[in-house]
Structure formats: structure tokens, C-alpha cells
Amino acid sequence: MAGAKIGAKTKIWSGVYTDSFDQLVIGDDVTIGKNVILIASGGVSIGNRSMIGHGSQIISEGHIIPPNRGPMRFSGPDPAPVIIENDVWVAAHVVILPGVRVGQGAVVAAGAVVTKDVPPFAVVGGVPARTIRVRT
């Protein structure tokens, strides 16, 4: 992970894949589970004390959808940073799509697909992810 900024006491399990190391920032005391995919070309930031569950995918870049039914293959990248704030739990097999911010203290339930920002201390789940409740 040469070029990535990784904080102290961070644990990265085996099988983690990432690209664009220079666009990856991981805080202190973070755990990243087995077989996590971090597509960091649009920028990925993971806050302190956050947990990323096994098999999750954080994707910060997609493809431009060209106008006028243009060809998709060479339409180009559409980067948008993913920001995971402090003390977040992203459970197993979650997908977080480009441009999403997950607020401090939030919980993302296993298998969720996160397409929009998650408010601080919200518990979200489903496809697409929706707020289930707010932590008190």
C-alpha cells in the first residue's frame, strides 16, 4: 500500500484489494476485513475507529453515461470521493457507491447497497440502503 496514508493500530486482513494508493486515507484504529475491495481512484477516506466488514466494496469511481446513446466502452471515468467518518461500522458484504458520505457513528447493515449519504448515528440497511433507526 505504498503511497496510502494509513494511521496507527490499523488492521488490514488478507485478500484486501485496492488501487490508486495515493488516493486512499485510513485513520487510526481501523479494521478492514478479509476480501474487501477499495476502488480508491476517486478518493476514499476511512475515519478513525471505523470497521469495514469482510467482503465489502467501497467504490469511488464509475463510468460516465454518455448522452445521445453514445458508446459506453470509452465514455471515461466518473470519480466521486467516498468519505467514511469516525466510529462507523460497515458490516459484511456492503457496497458503498461513488460520492457517498457515511456520517460519524453510523452503522451500515450487512448486504446493504449505499447510494446516498448516511446521516450521523443512523442505522441503515437494504437495497438501496434506507434509514432503519437512529442510534441514541
Annotated domain spans of the chain: 6-63+75-118
Distance CA(82)–CA(6), nearest Å, equals: 16
Distance CA(25)–CA(14), nearest Å, equals: 18
% of the chain residues with pLDDT over 70? 99
pLDDT given at position 29: 98
| pLDDT 10s digits, 88-132 | 999 999 999 999 999 999 999 999 999 999 999 999 999 999 999
Residues 6+ apart with CB under 8 A from 70: none
pLDDT at 3 over 90: no
**Known catalytic residues?**
63
Distance CA(80)–CA(24), nearest Å, equals: 13
| pLDDT 10s digits, 33-49 | 999 999 999 999 999 99
| CATH number for the domain formed by residue range(s) 6-63+75-118 | 2.160.10.10
pLDDT given at position 99: 98
Burial 29-38 (b: 16+ CB within 10 A, else e): bbbbbeebbb
Tell me phi and psi for residue 55, to 5 degrees. Answer: 75, 5
